[in-house]
Structure 1
Amino acid sequence: MDQEQEQEHQQPSSSSRKRILEQDDDTDAYYLGLLPPEAYDTSKRIKTYDFLAAFDEPKRETIVISDSDDEEVQDETESDDDDRSNAARALALFPRNQQEEHHNASENKNNDVVIESNAADKIDDDDVEDEVDDDSSTPFSEAIKAIQERAERNQERGIVEEPPVWIPKRNEKDSVRRRSCVPSLQELSLNILAQHSDAVVSLDCVVDEFRQRLSNLLCDSRKMNCYFLKLLLTGVPTQIRLKDCSWLTEEEFTNYFQTLDTSELEVIQLDKCGKIVTEHTLPATLAKSPNSLSKLTILSLTGACRLTNEGLRLLVSSATELRSINLSQCSLLTCDSLGILADSFGSVLKELHIDECILIDVARILPALKRFKQLQVLSLAGVPSVSDEFIKSYFIACGHNIKELVLKDCLNLTDASVRIIAKHCPGLRVLDIMNLGKLTDLSVGYLANGCQRLRTLKLYGNPFSDEAISVFLELAGKTLEELSLNSITKVGLLTATSLAKNGQNLHTLDLSWCRNLSDNELGLIVDSCLSLRSLKLFGCSQLTDMFFKGHSNSGARIIGLKLSPLFQRFEEPNLNEGSLR
């Protein structure tokens, strides 16, 4: 009897291991124990969560999902060998003796933290069955727990870990030589042509790539005019790309485009086109007759603030082979516009951008959106009606096709949405979840466990921790080619160490306003990521010449330095890489 009382005394009750926090959003996932109290504003939260169990997926689980009239049963099986190998790979950043201690500790069931998670793991009790927690752990939760245990041990022993030391490999003379490198002859020629565009007589026999680069240079320098536009429209062009049409008037648009031969056009990009594209100007310019744009596959009309549903209908009747359409900031388009597109391109459209279309309610367009059977790129940035319920309804049904997803500034989304995306989008390659203030480190764990083939990840402005990002990079960072950690203020030594170890494929990195990174951490990153070509460091005033003159990666262009030209630092995309964008 005394032994039973002693065991009960040693093992805390479930109620003693729960903690209630006030919360104003019942779908906002939250966890305890990873960060100090000041890392998050814990006011107005009311939920109990188990940070480790939130990521735990049972080795065999059955989820019954009721979506409309369809019922989907998913059975996932993961072998013990895969779990162990993934966990070992995730813990590679920890010393060997600490890995052994952590492995022994993780086998003790009595040490597991027990918490409850309701809203983050499911959106609707009627639609998704609650998962049953077991003793299995994901690599992400294992690694996070190892970081916590190591910090506690070091604190008890009074040990201060020394960060990896970066040794500068270049001197000031090498730095001067690097900055004065002569640009390529092609770059010099294009810059001279852009400066003297009024003297250009013809663009005949100029390939589309150079036409595009010249057009971009002129738009960036605000030198694009009607004279050069006439040169672009002369003949039988296959592409018209203007990323800034704000200088063009409605009369000029009508006069120059009414003589355009549209029979061979494959790409039309008229971005920031403002008031010039309307249902009245389209019949005389682009949509002259049904099927007049028979070869058009890519159409971008961002900022067409006077384009209505009727004008879109005219374009659709003329362009019957569209595969990509960008209607971002077309503020007059309504939910009916998605029905117009679905009627004509439901079986062939691959890219859809409706960013900041404020009159579009995603709940009402959901049936039309599900009719796009081949959709691979979906951008809903800044659409205020995007919610967890929409994410669940759409991605459970159609997430298997999605390769690129943009949800920037969809402020109502929580960790529950990221969990659905990570679980139902196995082919996801590009994810933009910038500036979603309700996300926590749970989202990073979902991505680490479910999206291990990401190539581009943009996390700008989210309150993620240094520990969570570093573990994500250990698990899924080796495939990343572009990463944005802009304005994630907690990014520090752990992230830098993981980047240096796993960023061999990174070519674009944004660490702007990450002021916890010193010369030592940036030096480790730049000298280890040998594929790095673009590094953005806006707002990193803590860096000194020790880094700028000491790193050895001569191929890395640093953007954001004081008094450095901005536009010359950006590389234009290779238009020959693929037919879509």
Structure 2
Amino acid sequence: ATRVAIDGIEFVRLVYKTRRVSIVYVAPDGSYLRSTGDVGAYLEKAGITRPQSELDGTFVFDPEVPNENDTTSTKDDSRSASDTPVKETRAKRRNLSLSEGSQGGSEKTAKTGEGNLPMGTTSRSSRESSAPANRTPAVEPDQGGATALGKRRNREIAESRAAAFARGQGFKDDEGRDTESRRSARGGRRERREEVQNNDQEGEAAAPETTNRESWPGPWSTASELYERRSAVAEALKTANNQTEKLVSWTPKANRCSKVVEAGCPSLQDMCIDVVATHIEACLEFGLGSILPEMKAKICELLGKKRKLSPEILPIFTDKETSILALPDCSKIGEGDLEKAFERCQGSELEVLNLVYCGRALSDRLLEKVCKNSLNLHTLILGGCYRLSDAGISSAVKALPRLRVLELSDCLNISICALRSISSLADTLESLSLKNSSQLDAEAFLQLGALKNLKRLNLSGCRGLSDTIVELIADSCGETLTELDLSFLPDSGFSAEPVSCKMTDASLSYLGRKCRKLTRLVLRNVETISDEGVKELCQGCPHLLELDFSRCKCIGDEGVQAIASRCCSLTRLTLNSAGSTILDEDSQVTTYSITDASLLALHQHSTKTLEYLDMSWCRGITDEGLGNLVDEAHNLRELYLRGCAQITDIFLNGHSNPQVKVWGREMKDSRLKPRPKGWRCE
């Protein structure tokens, strides 16, 4: 930094380096002059006229040419290092900011700062007041003004987007942001300078407008407001409940907690199986002896869970007398080890093959080989075998004409060709599972029309289902079908196209008319069915024992009443997260579609048969409704109330059924003692 004077006006010459070396002259009012044209225009405003040749000789903007007209030099400067123009300017700015913070007034700060400024420099306030109206605003060499503007603009954009997202409006780009993006793209430096000047001139007057621009106060303010209104809302709810006539009148029983239900102890058989699986290495020399095939299968399944099923242990469970080969979750066994095991046990004795989630071990070639050499196989459980394709399934079905049970859950490589080959088992196949086969479309499911003797069918998670497919299933195997799972797999939000359920009340109507022997029906996540469809289903299927309507939002009291009154043998009912919730914003009163009316209907018709009830997240039920039902349902063993925060100790400690176990509510006076370590309730 050096100084150049002309007619008593002193300019500070700055040499700085960014991508290249640049030179700029700083005028007394703080303007940055980047060429001799800027210098000439500045002198004309000051009433000084100089020829262009003199300006070219005095003001040197070429970094390679030395400036001989400098009145001061950095090499010959006799001042201390702390008195150089750059450091003087920095010290002045620090003093100015400190004085502004301590005195709190911009005018007073400006006057105080001017007295401490070095020669040739002035404070920002005085520069703004004395500068011409059309002068070029001061911009630092590193574009500090533009940087500050960009940070302020980005902060405003973030606040605006966050507020819109919190209000449920998603991310919306405002017009100013688009303008700023275009401005940055074309490098509009002059426009940014003008905006900096306008913001500096407006000062604090623009602050209230920016503050009040967003109508949403923010998450913390909203939470505080809700907390303050909590007591008022509670009073409104209490008033509404008092005005509403109670459907059930129930009185809690006294001394309910005097009897404590002990947690169930595992059976002797389960304890023996666990001991054998824990010390399986001790059986390598002598084997397991002549134990039942079912016990061998249970030990092998437990070894798979414990990740102890290795190639060294595999020979214990594979011999010529093996009739049930169960190797679930055998992740440590490779294809070669599994092939050797098949060679030891394949033959006329092998009847059941369970290789669920065996992973890389099972291929199309290996499945074809074992099926050709084991013609008496009647059960194939191959869920999660991701290497299987249409060729392997077709070869297995062709080799096993008497196959009765086939499970292909989570086999994502099969297509319509596999289902076309499965349709050839129309006379023998009784159970089929295609769970989570989301790749299959409606055309593939048309092949199921040939299966006339199906008793159990699992199509949960198959997004190709529709009313047409359900009608086809009901027409083909409705007379024999007893168990059906048509649960829908909701859209995860990452699909290229939105996925919606295509089953409606018409599907329930078809099932009610054609599937008279149906005893178990699962319809999780099917939000397109309503009470009308449930009524038609129960009218035609009076022998239903198990029903699952989890997360069916259109099911209400009328549907549950139809289930209770027409399904007289009902043993298990699941209504987890079923029903809808409507909030009145004016009165802050919530209306639920599943209430005590459903529990009252179950009390009137199902108390003698009901064994399992799941009312989790049904916020419309009360202590009185549950107590009235549980006291009379003597066969009820399990009651799930997860998410039912409205249920209190009045019910938990007041009902008179000592056999029922309530899950989902952790209470201080819980009747259930913790289970022994290492055991859990299945």
Give the TM-score, by structure 1 length: 0.63
Counterpart residue identity of residue 477, structure 1: C
Partner of 1:271: 356
Q: Which has the larger radius of gyration?
A: 2
Say if 2:488 and 2:526, in contact at 8 Å, map to a contact too.
Answer: yes
Pick from 615, 634, 638: which aligns with 1:530? 634
Matched, 1:392 2:466: no
Say if 1:477 and 1:503, in contact at 8 Å, map to a contact too.
Answer: no
Pick from 519, 525, 529: which aligns with 1:435? 525
> 1:512-523 maps to which residues of 2 (within 5 A)?
512-523=616-627
Partner of 2:400: 319
Counterpart residue identity of residue 527, structure 1: D
TM-superposed deviation, 1:566: 11
TM-superposed deviation, 1:283: 4.6
TM-superposed deviation, 1:173: 3.8
Say if 1:454 and 1:476, in contact at 8 Å, map to a contact too.
Answer: no
* Range moving further from structure 2, 556-565 or 456-465: 556-565
Partner of 1:347: 427
- Per-residue CA deviation, residues 389-418 of structure 1 (Å, 9 max, x unaligned), is 222344235423322211111622111111
Say if 2:294 and 2:324, in contact at 8 Å, map to a contact too.
Answer: no
Pick from 210, 224, 244: which aligns with 2:295? 210
Say if 1:297 and 1:322, in contact at 8 Å, map to a contact too.
Answer: yes
TM-superposed deviation, 1:242: 4.1
Is the alpha carbon distance of 1:273 and 1:548 closer, same or farther for their aligned partners in structure 2, counting shifts above 3 Å? farther
- Tell me how far apart the structure 2 counterparts of residues 331 and 179 of structure 1 sit (CA, whole Å): 45
Counterpart residue identity of residue 531, structure 2: D
Give 3-state SS (helix, strand or coil) of 1:417's partner. Answer: helix
Matched, 1:484 2:574: yes
Give 3-state SS (helix, strand or coil) of 1:370's partner. Answer: helix
Matched, 1:416 2:520: no
Gaps of at least 5 residues in structure 1 are 1-154, 572-581
Pick from 522, 544, 568: which aligns with 1:454? 544
Counterpart residue identity of residue 367, structure 2: L
Matched, 1:189 2:292: no
More helix by share: 2
- Tell me how far apart the structure 1 counterparts of residues 334 and 658 of structure 2 sit (CA, whole Å): 45
- Tell me how far apart the structure 1 counterparts of residues 333 and 617 of structure 2 sit (CA, whole Å): 36
> 1:118-197 maps to which residues of 2 (within 5 A)?
160-168=245-253, 171-175=256-260, 178-179=261-262, 182-197=265-280
Say if 1:254 and 1:281, in contact at 8 Å, map to a contact too.
Answer: yes
- Per-residue CA deviation, residues 324-375 of structure 1 (Å, 9 max, x unaligned), is 11111111111111221222x2211111112222333333442x32222212
Matched, 1:328 2:418: no
Counterpart residue identity of residue 617, structure 2: W
Counterpart residue identity of residue 533, structure 1: R
How many equivalent pairs are there? 408
* Range moving further from structure 2, 539-548 or 439-448: 539-548
Partner of 1:261: 346
- Tell me how far apart the structure 2 counterparts of residues 218 and 362 of structure 1 sit (CA, whole Å): 39
Counterpart residue identity of residue 500, structure 1: H
Give 3-state SS (helix, strand or coil) of 1:457's partner. Answer: strand
Is the alpha carbon distance of 1:169 and 1:376 closer, same or farther for their aligned partners in structure 2, counting shifts above 3 Å? farther
- Tell me how far apart the structure 2 counterparts of residues 561 and 461 of structure 1 sit (CA, whole Å): 20
Partner of 1:27: none
- Tell me how far apart the structure 2 counterparts of residues 320 and 308 of structure 1 sit (CA, whole Å): 19
Say if 1:170 and 1:551, in contact at 8 Å, map to a contact too.
Answer: no
Give 3-state SS (helix, strand or coil) of 1:495's partner. Answer: helix
Is the alpha carbon distance of 1:335 and 1:419 closer, same or farther for their aligned partners in structure 2, counting shifts above 3 Å? same
Partner of 2:132: none
Say if 1:480 and 1:503, in contact at 8 Å, map to a contact too.
Answer: no
Pick from 368, 374, 377: which aligns with 1:296? 377
TM-superposed deviation, 1:459: 0.7
Query: What CA RMSD, in Å, does the superposition of the two structures yield over aligned residues?
Result: 3.2
Gaps of at least 5 residues in structure 2 are 1-239, 490-500, 580-592, 667-673
Higher RCO (CA < 8 A, seq sep 6+): 1
> 1:82-93 maps to which residues of 2 (within 5 A)?
none
- Tell me how far apart the structure 2 counterparts of residues 486 and 308 of structure 1 sit (CA, whole Å): 36
Partner of 1:99: none
* Range moving further from structure 2, 235-244 or 445-454: 235-244
Is the alpha carbon distance of 1:434 and 1:252 closer, same or farther for their aligned partners in structure 2, counting shifts above 3 Å? same
Give 3-state SS (helix, strand or coil) of 1:500's partner. Answer: helix
Give 3-state SS (helix, strand or coil) of 2:361's partner. Answer: coil
Say if 1:348 and 1:373, in contact at 8 Å, map to a contact too.
Answer: no
Say if 1:168 and 1:547, in contact at 8 Å, map to a contact too.
Answer: no
- Tell me how far apart the structure 2 counterparts of residues 494 and 449 of structure 1 sit (CA, whole Å): 20
Is the alpha carbon distance of 1:227 and 1:171 closer, same or farther for their aligned partners in structure 2, counting shifts above 3 Å? farther
Give 3-state SS (helix, strand or coil) of 2:461's partner. Answer: coil
- Tell me how far apart the structure 2 counterparts of residues 337 and 163 of structure 1 sit (CA, whole Å): 55
| % identity of equivalent residues | 27
- Tell me how far apart the structure 2 counterparts of residues 230 and 275 of structure 1 sit (CA, whole Å): 19
Partner of 1:403: 482
Matched, 1:281 2:385: no
* Range moving further from structure 2, 461-470 or 521-530: 521-530
- Tell me how far apart the structure 1 counterparts of residues 635 and 481 of structure 2 sit (CA, whole Å): 27
Say if 1:428 and 1:453, in contact at 8 Å, map to a contact too.
Answer: yes
- Tell me how far apart the structure 1 counterparts of residues 656 and 431 of structure 2 sit (CA, whole Å): 40
- Tell me how far apart the structure 2 counterparts of residues 420 and 538 of structure 1 sit (CA, whole Å): 33
Give 3-state SS (helix, strand or coil) of 1:240's partner. Answer: strand
Partner of 1:498: 601
TM-superposed deviation, 1:268: 1.6
Counterpart residue identity of residue 572, structure 2: E
- Tell me how far apart the structure 2 counterparts of residues 172 and 196 of structure 1 sit (CA, whole Å): 42
Counterpart residue identity of residue 415, structure 1: D
Say if 2:451 and 2:476, in contact at 8 Å, map to a contact too.
Answer: no
Partner of 1:308: 389
Matched, 1:510 2:614: yes
Give 3-state SS (helix, strand or coil) of 2:259's partner. Answer: helix
Partner of 1:358: 438
Say if 2:322 and 2:349, in contact at 8 Å, map to a contact too.
Answer: yes
- Tell me how far apart the structure 1 counterparts of residues 642 and 411 of structure 2 sit (CA, whole Å): 31
Counterpart residue identity of residue 495, structure 1: S
Say if 1:380 and 1:406, in contact at 8 Å, map to a contact too.
Answer: yes
Give 3-state SS (helix, strand or coil) of 1:355's partner. Answer: coil
- Tell me how far apart the structure 1 counterparts of residues 290 and 273 of structure 2 sit (CA, whole Å): 15
Is the alpha carbon distance of 1:312 and 1:393 closer, same or farther for their aligned partners in structure 2, counting shifts above 3 Å? closer
- Per-residue CA deviation, residues 290-312 of structure 1 (Å, 9 max, x unaligned), is 3x222221111111112111111
Partner of 2:321: 236
- Tell me how far apart the structure 2 counterparts of residues 566 and 469 of structure 1 sit (CA, whole Å): 41
Matched, 1:370 2:474: no
- Per-residue CA deviation, residues 216-264 of structure 1 (Å, 9 max, x unaligned), is 4444455544455443324522212344344544344334334323421
- Per-residue CA deviation, residues 269-303 of structure 1 (Å, 9 max, x unaligned), is 2212333322133255x23xx3x222221111111
Counterpart residue identity of residue 498, structure 1: A
Counterpart residue identity of residue 492, structure 1: T
TM-superposed deviation, 1:512: 2.6
TM-superposed deviation, 1:500: 3.0
